[in-house]
């Protein structure tokens, strides 16, 4: 069983502010980290899959980074807009 912890669990952001979320996981059995955006009417949408230590991926105003040695990934949203309002989730896959 792999436990992933996301912080903060709830975040309210003013329009125009930048923000970030952090997802922590045990680094010993890590394979890949998935970031999802979930809107109730649409269901989950996979935004990023990141698996290389030190890697960074971008899509518009959203950027994710990965640090497997420290066991965390961060998602940054620059200049938040009303359309960014959603639930963001992280999930990890692991190798045995």
What CATH number is attached to the domain comprising 48? 2.60.40.10
74-88 pLDDT per residue, tens: 999 999 999 999 999
Answer whether 2's CB lies under 8 Å from 26's CB: yes
Q: What is the mean pLDDT of residues 9-21?
A: 90
31-45 pLDDT per residue, tens: 788 999 998 889 899
Domain of residue 82 covers 5-94
Question: Mapping DSSP to helix (H, G, I), strand (E, B) and coil, where does residue 92 land?
Answer: strand
Concatenated DSSP letters of 18-84: -EEEEEE--GGGEEEEEEEEEETTTEEEEEEEE-STT-EEEETTEEEEEETTTTEEEEEESS--GGG
How many domains would you assign to the chain?
1
pLDDT of residue 53: 84
């Amino acid at each position: 069983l792999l436990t992933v912890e996301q912080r903060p669990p709830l975040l309210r952001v003013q329009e125009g502010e930048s923000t970030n979320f952090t997802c922590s996981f045990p680094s010993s059995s890590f394979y890949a980290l998935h970031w999802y955006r979930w809107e109730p009417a649409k269901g989950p949408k996979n935004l990023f899959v990141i698996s290389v230590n030190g890697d960074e991926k971008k899509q518009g105003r959203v950027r994710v980074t990965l640090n497997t040695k420290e066991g965390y990934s961060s998602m940054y949203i620059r200049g938040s807009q009303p359309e960014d309002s959603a639930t963001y989730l992280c999930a990890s896959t692991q190798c045995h």
